[in-house]
């Protein structure tokens, strides 16, 4: 089956570092995405991992371990505007060999002063 787990809520302090974990089980893994979604807005693309390792993009980094079915999103130097929902999504090739995204429930991050 397909299953993606991430914590429901997290709280962190402005200027700090926070790590949001995501574990997954899929039948045809072909990449993992992280999206940011502010309340009432559309998800915006943050990062994409298809090979094991760390991808760094400014204050945001994403890590993938395919053997463990595990990823994390690392946010450094937190700002108030980082308060949002963070969605972990896995591309599942499935049987039709096309790409559909399976999303986790999202982690709501609240950044406090």
Instruction: Verify binding: residue 8, another protein, rule CB under 8 A.
Output: no
Instruction: Verify binding: residue 109, another protein, rule CB under 8 A.
Output: no
CB-nearer residue toward another protein: 20 or 78: 20
Judged by CB under 8 A, the number of residues near another protein is 27
CB 83 within 8 A of CB 75: no
Instruction: Verify binding: residue 39, another protein, rule CB under 8 A.
Output: no
Q: In what order do the strands lie in the sheet with 70-75?
A: 3-5, 18-25, 70-75, 60-65, 53-57
**Tokens 């402005």 belong to residue:** 14
- Residue 2, both tokens: 């397909």
Instruction: Verify binding: residue 99, another protein, rule CB under 8 A.
Output: yes
Farthest-apart Cα atoms in the chain, separation? 48
Residue 81 has phi, psi (to 5 degrees) of -70, -10
CB of 65 to another protein, least distance (A): 19
Instruction: Verify binding: residue 91, another protein, rule CB under 8 A.
Output: yes
Instruction: Verify binding: residue 42, another protein, rule CB under 8 A.
Output: yes
Residues engaged in binding another protein (CB under 8 A): 30-31, 33, 35, 41-45, 48, 50, 87, 89, 91, 93-94, 96-106
């Amino acid at each position: 089956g397909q299953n993606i787990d991430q914590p429901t809520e997290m709280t962190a302090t402005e200027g700090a570092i926070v790590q949001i974990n995501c574990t997954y089980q899929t039948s045809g893994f072909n990449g993992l995405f992280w999206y940011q979604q502010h309340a009432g807005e559309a998800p915006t693309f943050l990062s994409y991992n298809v090979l094991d390792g760390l991808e760094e993009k400014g204050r945001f980094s994403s890590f993938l371990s395919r053997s463990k079915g595990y990823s994390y999103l690392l946010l450094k130097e937190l700002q108030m505007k980082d308060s949002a929902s963070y969605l972990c999504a896995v591309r599942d090739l499935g049987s039709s060999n096309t790409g559909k995204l399976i999303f986790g429930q999202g982690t709501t991050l609240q950044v406090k002063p």
